[in-house]
Amino acid sequence: MQSGGCTAVINQSLAGIITSYQHIAPKSRIYGADHGIEGILSGNIHDITDISSEGIKSVGSSPGSALGSTRRKLLPTDTDTIFNLLDRHKIQTFHIIGGNDSATTGLTFQKEAESIGYKLTIVNVPKTIDNDLVQTDHCPGYGSSARFVAQATLGAGRDALAMGISSPITIMEVMGRDAGWLAASASLYKRNNFDPPHYIGVPEIPLDEEKFLIQMEHAYREYGYAVAVVAENVKGINGIIGEQTEPWFTDDFGHPYYEGPSRYLAEQVTKKLGVRCRYEKPGTIQRSLMDSVSKTDSNEAFEIGREASLRAETGQTGIIMCLDRKSGPVYECSPSTAILEDVAGKVRLMPDEFLNVELASLGNTTEEFKNYLEPLTGAPLDIPKYLIEN
């Protein structure tokens, strides 16, 4: 099943799983749950064993979650229904393609299967544009979304500079519930102080509104434009940014959703500087734009799905696939595993060697982070120079 927010390459992992099982377990049947737990509870699972190679290729290159995703939490009352369905279809291997919450779901499945004596092999396949799973160098889906954010930041900066006095400042709000990996990727193409962004707001660092406004004014006065990139869940010194104190929605896993900080911050900038400040919220576009898919990301997503099936066939269970980066000047990653219990419920924040308060306030990250990020986004971008630079 597929679970949580989609990524641009989540279907490549599905394609890798199907392709592998068609070869290594030709007498077995492969089922896909329609919208994850919801489909399993309703008995709505589909036999996808005989999908053609052309069909698999088409699925792998498509946006969204081909099986349908879900954010429904597994409840204790679901157990009997779910395991009755698994038993009815003689299902003995279960792959969950998802992020942190899906790791928790996989762990719950494992413990429940053990408690009732049901033989079930569980191998999770990671995905999240938030890039916040522990025990892995990075997460499938992150490289493509980071590529989008980096390019969108560069483009937004060129646009703001070109528009001049009519709308010279832009605030872009990107995804990132608990960690700033995606917002930080906005700095990939920043070569100097003139280049965008001029401020990065991440959940790890409280946003000081007064200092933020001072930095936006400084960038605008100094360079003729200003761009800030903030994570959707960045907090202020006193908590939620803006006037909204209560979430407009809370999902089954207890994650609160707020309006986001960009609109409020744009209003404050406009009031302070007296010029128009745009706010942009690319939303799901940042995780679904196929033109921004990183070849590295796509290939790794397929390979980690394929490898998950191989690990399951050897009897490994209660694990989640990971990516290990080899040291050295040439980028190379290989699949590995971690125990679900070591991943579920944990969040990997950005380390200080990648981002700190001073750099974020200037819209930048360390060269170490950029070296970490660039190969994940695919081929480097050839950045044309501005006609006018300070």
Q: Please give the positions annotated as active site.
A: 130
Helix (H, G, I), strand (E, B) or coil at 250: strand
Are the beta carbons of 291 and 103 closer than 8 angstroms? no
Q: Is the peptide bond before 197 cis (omega within 30 degrees of 0)?
A: yes
Are the beta carbons of 212 and 201 closer than 8 angstroms? yes
5 closest CA partner among 72, 74, 98: 98
Sequence-distant (6+) residues with CB within 8 A of 334 are 323, 324, 326
CA distance 108 to 28: 25
Sequence-distant (6+) residues with CB within 8 A of 388 are 161
CA distance 213 to 98: 37
Signed CA dihedral, 367, 202, 169, 152: sign only:
positive
Place of tokens 């762990």: 107
Sequence-distant (6+) residues with CB within 8 A of 266 are 169, 171, 277, 278, 279
